[in-house]
Amino acid sequence: MKTINTVVAAMALSTLSFGVFAAEPVTASQAQNMNKIGVVSADGASTLDAL
């Protein structure tokens, strides 16, 4: 019983802490103030498997 309570508590805490690391949306005006660090491209592939 003690193990089940510990597992449930760990799952609850990990679920709650997920929101801390979630991405936040960026508006167009915020994006203008950021530095570009690279480009991602995928040419010549018609499916994801072809990449």
Residue 14 structural domain: 1-50
Which pLDDT does position 42 carry in this prediction?
81
User: Rg of the chain over CA atoms, in angstroms?
Assistant: 21
Which pLDDT does position 13 carry in this prediction?
85
Which pLDDT does position 6 carry in this prediction?
94
Per the structure, the count of domains in the chain is 1
Rounded Cα gap, residues 51 and 49, in angstroms: 5
Which pLDDT does position 4 carry in this prediction?
93
What pLDDT tens digit does each residue of the chain (51 aa) get?
899 999 999 988 888 777 777 788 999 999 999 998 998 888 888 888 887
Which pLDDT does position 41 carry in this prediction?
82
